[in-house]
Amino acid sequence: MTDDLAQQAPAPPPEPVPLDQPEPIAGPHIQITEAAATPLDAGEVIERRDAYGRVPVVVRIRRQPPIRLEWVLVAIALAASGLLVPLEAALRAIIIVLAVAALLVGFVQRIFLRVPPGTVGLVMRAGRHDRVLGDGIHRVNPTLVLTHVVTTREFAFDVPVSEVRSKDGVGVSVDAMLTLQVEDAARFAYSITTSDLDQLVHAAAQDAVRSMIRGVAALDTLDLGALEADVLRQNIAVKLEPFGVATRAVAFTRVTLPLELTASLEARRLATVQLDEQASSFELDQRRIGDRASLVTQEAAARRTAVEAEAQAEALRLQRLEERLAKNPKAARYDLELARLRVAERLAGNTRAIVTLGANDVGTSLLLAREADANGAVAEHLSPAGD
């Protein structure tokens, strides 16, 4: 074994796949695939998904004899039995009719062509492309041969582009989703293979994406939208149009920045959110302090108003009282003496109470107080003996 490519033996060519065996499945990285089938199985094959979930875009029709030999052999056998075997005329006629019917069935596949729905069929005459048939059953010249069945539906194509240098030199990874459609089936089928078209779409899309990202700052790639997608679609469509494939739409599915830059952006965003939260909390605290001060002011004003109202009411009461006393001095003096007598009556039953008859008789008041204390002590000393 040597590393010199000139001395290495060339790799053997791949063996051709027999027509009666299924073709190998394309690699998992291939997105545009094809399949092979008979005219009767083309409608089923173009709808069937392979092991990787892909649906073929084109089905190549395998070559078949112009007539179905089994039905022709059946027709020959019936005709021979009807002509050579001695039978009644009616039975012989029935056998001849059946032979003719079997012969027609053997040739009918060349007279009628069926194109599955959602596809178009390419037919060939004398080794050259003749026309494109729409979906449905068509009665054609027996010299026409169905060669390809091409889908007319749109299909998606994923293009990941990694580590593209932006305008400010930051590596950006972009994932784009293309929506493609076969617009010219004949040009698509006869000008390029599906595997080559797959590589071409990858190359065209990656080149267009890289050209766009080089003129955009890294942070601005996060805002790529419909306008940039339409410009990208036009650039890709120019490269795919010569092969009969139209680019219907482009969408950016993911934009990834370096982890360091993403972490920095997240930290800045978190700091901004925290500052906004602190500002909101400070504003709320200020509002609470202002509300509390306003409440205290209102309570003080209410108390002041209540005190003023009480003072006004007391002043009015005293004023009214003075007016009544001034108008009725004798009645006021009578009420005062009567109140004193009532108090004296209540204090008379209390041995400890001292009733002062004169405000200036201080000595008398002291003697009465001492006598009342002595009488009270004697009463307390005699009360247990009495009991």
CA distances from 281 to 268, 272, 275, 276, 287 (A): 20, 14, 10, 9, 10
Task: Check residue 160 and give its pLDDT.
Answer: 92
Task: Check residue 361 and give its pLDDT.
Answer: 46
Predicted TM-score (pTM) above 0.85:
no
Angle at 228 between CA 225 and CA 231, to 5 degrees: 145
Check if the beta carbon of residue 107 is closer than 8 Å to that of residue 126.
Answer: no
Residue 78's SS3 state is: helix
CA atoms within 13 Å, Cβ hemisphere of 308:
6
Beta strand pairing call for 58-61 and 34-37:
parallel
- DSSP-assigned letters across all residues of 146-209: EEEEEE-S-EEEEEEEEEEE-TTS-EEEEEEEEEEEES-HHHHHHH--HHHHHHHHHHHHHHHH
Task: Check residue 297 and give its pLDDT.
Answer: 86
Check if the beta carbon of residue 205 is closer than 8 Å to that of residue 233.
Answer: no
- DSSP-assigned letters across all residues of 243-263: GTEEEEEEEEEEEE--HHHHH
Residue 113's SS3 state is: strand
Helices (H) and strands (E) in the chain, counts: 9, 10
Check if the beta carbon of residue 173 is closer than 8 Å to that of residue 164.
Answer: yes
Of 181, 177, 173, nearest in space to 157 by CA: 177
Task: Check residue 368 and give its pLDDT.
Answer: 47
> What strands, in cross-sheet order, belong to the sheet with 245-256?
155-165, 171-182, 245-256
Task: Check residue 5 and give its pLDDT.
Answer: 41
In this structure, what are the phi and psi dihedrals at residue 244, rounded to the nearest 5 degrees?
Answer: 80, 15
Round to the nearest angstrom and report the end-to-end CA distance of the chain. 140
In 63-154, the DSSP E strands lie at 112-115, 119-125, 128-133, 136-139, 145-151
Residue-wise pLDDT tens for the chain (387 aa)? 444 444 545 545 545 445 445 555 666 788 999 999 888 888 899 988 888 889 999 999 887 665 665 666 777 777 776 666 666 766 767 777 777 776 666 666 667 788 999 999 999 888 888 899 998 888 888 778 889 999 999 999 999 998 888 888 888 999 999 999 999 999 999 999 999 999 999 999 999 999 999 999 888 888 888 999 999 999 999 999 999 999 999 999 998 888 887 777 778 778 888 888 888 888 888 888 888 888 888 888 888 888 888 888 888 887 887 887 788 777 777 777 777 777 777 777 666 655 555 544 444 444 445 555 555 554 454 444 444
Task: Check residue 106 and give its pLDDT.
Answer: 64
